A and B are shown apart, each in its own frame.
Chain A
Amino acid sequence: MEWTAPLLADPSLLFGAALLVMLAAILCAIVVSRKLLTSVALTGLFTLVAALWYIAMDAPDVAFTEAVVGGGVSTLILLGSILLTRESAEPVSPSRMVFPAIAVILAGVAILYAVGSIPGFGDPASPANASVGRDYLERTYKEVGIPNVVSAVLASYRGFDTLGETTVVFAAAVGVMLLLGFGERALGDPARRHEALNPDLVEEIDHHVVLRVATKIMIPLMFLFGLYVLFHGEVGAGGGFQAGVILAIALIVHALVFGLSETMRAFPAAAMRAGASAGVLIYAGVGVINMLNGGAFLDYDFLFPPPLEQALSGPDGHAGQHYGIIAIEIGVTATVASGITAIFYGFAGRAPDIASRGASRGPESGGGS
């Protein structure tokens, strides 16, 4: 059975083509722009459009993640670091471009040469789509018992990858804490506490009582939404990771409106550090419990001792898988939410120094004796 691009049968293909062209245009703009702020804004835009394209490609989970991460967290960190660094990049002399250009063109030609032998776009019979990928679709409901196949693969079949991914976030949080500290300086010096973020911004916000009130209502809602995304991940798009990012963004919004020191009092950096490692511990702990019950690492069928598993799951089975996935998703959420918040504290806590010292060198506090 051949697949011959029935464009009309699948309107998302047309939609996707348009989005791709948009992506290419945005990227061109990034290549030529030298203003860092413009580049960052365009990068945020790029990821949002990419998220749309993912939806067109039937990948809502990826789209969700890309939107919250690329459009949210990445852009935020980039903006924060521009605040801490400089505004525009030096121009690149053409002579410096020769070698990279050759390398890039060579690599591009190589890929295109290979792409020629890849089965056509959208081909359901391609090796990628016909082998393991299809197996998951056929087996998930029987073996794991949840409708969202992406969640099932993510949390169960390839749960070990996801443990790794959580560890990466943990490691990044550790790294940023090492490099930039825990934002302690925002707390340490009362005189500067108020300037924790861009002083102009803080001043502006003070006039906006409406904004403060609105934020006070918004943040619980965001928390609620985060929890919804977490627990809804089995059924629809979403999951622990997206939930964690949303929770972190809620905290960041709080910090933007009420000042970093307020947020750090409510959610201390030490708690974030604990949360980041607790998340990984929960995840790995589930795996260890599985091993103790006689299964392989992360084999949630062994989350409960076999008799209890029988009792809990009834005829359909999969109680272990359900609870296991929820448990590890909670772990992921904990690590991601705390980790990203800690990263944000690190960057934001650095701001007063830079602001007060201008281009001079900052003091040594991240390390050294």
Chain B
Amino acid sequence: MIGLEFLNIAPQRFAEQAPALVVVGPLIAACAAVLAPGRRWAWFLCVGASAFAFWMAVVLASEVARQGVISYAMGGFPAPLGIEFRVDALSAMFALLISGMAVLTAVFSGESLETEIMSSKHPLMQGGFLTCLAGLLGLVLTGDAFNAFVFLEISSIGVYAMIAMGGARDRRAYPAAFNYLIMGTIGATFYLIGVGFLYAATGTLNMADIAARIPTLTSDRSIEVGLAFILIGLALKAAVFPLHQWLPAAYSHAPSMIVVFLSATATKASVYLIIRYLSTVFAFDWQVETAFMAFVLAPLSVAGILICSMQAAVDPEIRRILAYSSVAQVGYMTLAIATATSAGVSAALFHLFNHGVMKAALFMAIGGAAIHLKSQRLSDFAGAAKSAPWTMTAFGIAALSLLGAPLTAGFLSKLRLIQSLVAADWGWAAAVIGLSSLIGVFYVGRIFEVVFFRSEPEGGSAVREAPVSILLPLWLLAIANIWFGIDATIPLGLAESAAGAVMGATTLSPAGAP
């Protein structure tokens, strides 16, 4: 199903422990990285642990494809007494995305940190990164509502500090990180309160158990409010408009490594949790939820798509342009989810995957090319294609994908989005996506023009070709952008089966290139 089964070569006993290992591996490596004697060791640990997590995620995904939902009881206590890791196709897809991105980011981090952070702190950065990775992976695998809260915090608390580390180049990172911390913690606390209500009403914390008990309740007032609090909290974390204000600043001033990783994964993990709650814990056909999605989520998504696209079109700083575009893209996803159809969820997941691949490449290229450039103003990238052709070509490919140019991953996901919206009779929403793509033409065009057609400033551009250890993951991503635009078997297969896992049978037949 996922095309990566050949990596599933773990012995059976090992494979059985994969749900725990995928989280514990990075966690142990995080501690070891902090103790590492030098930055090289820390980097090796980081790459190794991420690769291990990716391998385990592949094992998990192929096991899920083979035998369906996997339940793993932490501590040997069955749910709801103990904490359960519940891995279905949706979780497996996210685990793959997150750990895959982590591998690339880890490779990228070596040279990138070199220029941004003083070397005595590299082990701490790598440790923090691995902790965040463990947190995100735990978040998408756990089947326990409270455990998800813990992982939400694990994945963010080091990140707040790491974003602030961008302050060495640009002091605006400090207030940005502070704001993110405040917003993120409010989000997490809202989530905690929401879980409290679910617990008060059902007496259990296991998501599947909550879902099973909800229909037996006489009053669902606390369920409604619990849902509202959980969704607001997660929307804050996922930067859903209008709760996105923290994101552009945080992304534009943080160290490149963090941005690359976060842009591809962090908000996505919260989107995962939103889908998980909407589909598994609550039921999509629950009237309150349908109303919520049609009258709250959809309008907000539309507003987010249009307003943030426009902000991206006028902003002078390159990373903030991309950050605003990220918020708009999250809007695409929530808009498709709001249709409450299997095709919509599948399209949203497909786009989520592709967006991760393209945004990581974009931020990676900027981080790599601007390694000696302290500013991030778009105008400083004038003529960058001349001084850094390899880096900027990869950047160009990813930018085309962001634009939705054919033969790139972004095109197919946009097409799927429009298709699912038309199929749900939401023609107006398809028009919104068209309109926002038009704005996308402007902001991507702006970047393109500066990078490829503006002549270099006098005295030469400060942009330099990125080192090989950055070019390698960067080009992998760029090629993935093209590959998935021509043969989307892997992401589409993942998205279809993930949507199928949470929505029942899919309405669109699974694709497969001959």
A residues near B (Cβ < 8 Å) are 110-111, 113-119, 126-133, 135-136, 139, 143, 156-161, 163-165, 167-168, 170-172, 174-179, 273-274, 276-278, 280-281, 284-285, 287-288, 291, 295-302, 364, 366-369
Contact = CB atoms under 8 A, between A and B. Distances in A.
B75 A300 contact: yes
Contact of B121 (A164, A167, A178, A291): A178
Chain B interface helix/strand/loop/mixed: helix
Interface stretch (B158-166, B295-303, B315-323, B435-443): B158-166
The 9 A-B residue pairs with the shortest CB-CB distance, nearest first, are: A175-B161, A368-B168, A299-B76, A131-B203, A127-B203, A114-B225, A367-B168, A277-B31, A297-B20
Contact of B158 (A127, A131, A135, A171): A171
Contacts of A131: 80, 202-204
Contacts of A130: 203
A209 to B, nearest CB: 39
A188 B333 CA distance: 52
Nearest to A179: B161
A34 to B, nearest CB: 19
A178 B229 CA distance: 33
Interface stretch (B1-9, B127-135, B351-359, B398-406): B127-135
A117 B219 contact: yes
B34 A273 contact: yes
A308 B18 CA distance: 26
Contacts of A296: 17, 20, 72-76
B200 A118 contact: yes
B34 A364 contact: no
Given A114-B226, A366-B168, A126 B203 contact: yes
Nearest to B147: A161
Given A114-B225, A287-B20, A368 B203 contact: no
B82 interface: yes
Interface in B285-344: none
Nearest to B181: A175
27 contacts: A114-B225, A116-B221, A127-B200, A128-B203, A129-B203, A132-B81, A139-B81, A143-B77, A160-B147, A167-B30, A170-B30, A174-B158, A273-B35, A276-B34, A277-B35, A281-B31, A287-B20, A291-B20, A296-B76, A297-B17, A297-B72, A298-B75, A298-B76, A301-B76, A364-B168, A366-B167, A367-B167
Interface residues of B, number: 70
A126 B196 CA distance: 13
A298 B17 CA distance: 12
B450 to A, nearest CB: 27
B169 interface: yes
B151 interface: yes
Contacts of B161: 174-176, 178-179
Nearest to B162: A178
Contact of A278 (B31, B128, B204): B31
Contacts of A287: 20, 24
B153 to A, nearest CB: 5
Given A131-B203, A178-B128, A281-B28, A367 B146 contact: no
B79 to A, nearest CB: 9
Interface stretch (B86-94, B112-120, B454-462, B472-480): B112-120
Nearest to B24: A284
A355 B12 CA distance: 61
A306 B124 CA distance: 39
A131 B161 CA distance: 39
Nearest to B119: A369
B78 to A, nearest CB: 10
Given A126-B200, A281-B28, A368-B168, A171 B131 contact: yes
Nearest to B202: A127
A158 B201 CA distance: 21
Contact of A174 (B27, B34, B202): B34
B471 interface: no
A174 B127 contact: yes
Contact of A111 (B81, B82, B220, B225): B225
B111 interface: no
B134 to A, nearest CB: 7
Contacts of A136: 81
A146 B358 CA distance: 53
Contacts of B115: 369
Given A131-B204, A178-B165, A160 B72 contact: no
A319 to B, nearest CB: 15
B76 A164 contact: no
Interface string B181-217: 0000000000001000101111111000000010000
Contacts of B146: 161
A276 B32 CA distance: 11
B433 to A, nearest CB: 30
Contact of A159 (B74, B124, B228): B74
Nearest to A285: B28
Contacts of B121: 178, 366-367
Contacts of A158: 75, 82-83, 147
Nearest to A368: B168
Contact of B24 (A161, A174, A277, A297): A297
Of A160, A175, A368, most buried by chain B (CB within 10 Å of CB) is: A160
Contacts of B213: 127
A126 to B, nearest CB: 7
Contacts of B226: 114
B224 interface: yes
Contacts of A285: 28
Contact of A132 (B116, B150, B205, B222): B205
Contact of A161 (B150, B158, B160, B169): B150
Contacts of A133: 203
B502 interface: no
A165 B83 CA distance: 14
A114 B134 contact: no
A280 B27 contact: yes
Contacts of A297: 17, 20, 24, 72, 74-75
Contacts of B117: 367-369
B75 A157 contact: yes
Nearest to A184: B120
A148 B72 CA distance: 26
A171 B31 contact: no
Interface in B413-471: none
A283 B80 CA distance: 23
Given A158-B83, A174-B127, A178-B161, A132 B76 contact: no
Nearest to B14: A291
A306 to B, nearest CB: 13
Contacts of B83: 158, 160-161
A298 B74 contact: yes
A129 B201 CA distance: 10
A123 to B, nearest CB: 11
Contacts of B347: none
A135 B77 CA distance: 12
B168 A117 contact: no
Contacts of B147: 158, 160-161, 164
